[in-house]
Amino acid sequence: MKYSPGEKLFDWINIILLALLTLLFLLPFLSVVSTSLISGKEYALRGLFILYPQKPVITAYELLLGQGSLVWTSLAVSVGRVTIGTGLNLLLTFPLAYVLSKRNLYGRVPITMFIFFTMLFSGGLIPNFVLVEKLYLLNSFWSMILPPLINPWWLLIMRNFMLAIPDELEEAAVIDGANPLTVLLRVYLPLSMPVIATVGLWYAVMHWNSWFDAAIYLNTPSKFPMQLVLRGILEFGTGQYGDASGLAEMTELIDPPPAESLKAAMIVVTTAPILMIYPFIQRYFVKGIMLGSIKG
């Protein structure tokens, strides 16, 4: 296909603008990574905004990850929370969304309105704490998993996605002898992979970033998730957030890293796992799911 000079000029302008926009998005991330690799002397000479360190050092990472087993234990807790929590979230959200997408379900509208009502009103912090206590979940790993099992807004998004799937697909499967469970697993599950991947990513990010529920329900440092431990280390505190006294070694170093370098290293450590997971599910966000499903 031959392009006119005007079309070629338009394409080049688009490429240049998109390249500049990509650079604007990458600059903050590069600045954070570079800041995490600077020494105290370089920070004093060059200031905070640094795109490349002259003499990269990993002192901040050594201080952050070398405080004994607490940070690594918290990493295991966070990974377990994301894995188990996201799996249970999707295990309950997907079937419930499928049921609510059935137009012939008796009481479908009242059930949907009841779920929507929970988005507008909640019991509050104290009733939630009392509930967790009465369920004997205090200071338990499951106190971070069971309360947020289903997000009502993401449930409704998944339900609306399934409403767009033609009923003819289910009818054809039923004619071929499929039972409801087979229809759910063989018809709706493959077609719903884009929304499952999207909602699953939301659940995973929610679990990975959460720290407030752990601060309320947990009191044993070995059970803390990574975000809570890192928050305590950021404040150079002990006690509630676990023993971060090892950071006192900073005062014994000849060239201790600045506090901003330590903060930047923490940002890198906490965001790297999500950044590594996203490329594996990114293709589901743009995939066309209904192409070729119905012909004629």
Q: Measure CA of the first residue to CA of the last residue in the chain; give whole Å.
A: 31
d(CA 103, CA 182): 19
Q: Residues with Cβ < 8 Å from 229, sequence gap 6 or more?
A: 70, 71, 74, 221, 241, 242, 244
Q: What is the mean pLDDT of the chain?
A: 81
Same domain for 237 and 125: yes
pLDDT at 138: 92
Same domain for 221 and 136: yes
Between 281 and 244, the more confident residue is 281
- Write out the residue range of the structural domain in which residue 34 sits: 5-57
d(CA 269, CA 64): 9
Between 71 and 222, the more confident residue is 222
Same domain for 83 and 28: no
Tell me how many degrees the CA angle 268-271-274 measures, rounded to the nearest 5.
145
Same domain for 161 and 73: yes
Tally the domains of the chain. Answer: 2
pLDDT for residue 81 is more than 90? yes
Whether residue 213 contacts residue 144, with contact meaning beta carbons closer than 8 Å, is answered with yes
Answer whether residue 256 is part of any domain: no
Answer whether residue 254 is part of any domain: no
Whether residue 244 contacts residue 250, with contact meaning beta carbons closer than 8 Å, is answered with no
| pLDDT tens track for 102-129 | 888 888 889 989 988 888 887 788 999 9
Which tokens go with 147? 């309360």
Same domain for 162 and 53: no
Residue spans of alpha helices (H) in 36-177: 40-46, 59-65, 70-100, 108-120, 125-134, 152-163, 167-175
> Average pLDDT of 40-56?
78
Q: Residues with Cβ < 8 Å from 97, sequence gap 6 or more?
A: 155, 158, 159, 161, 162
> Among residues 32, 72, 44, which one has the least CA distance to residue 257?
44
Answer whether residue 276 is part of any domain: no
Same domain for 139 and 163: yes
> Average pLDDT of 219-232?
85
pLDDT at 164: 86
pLDDT at 96: 93
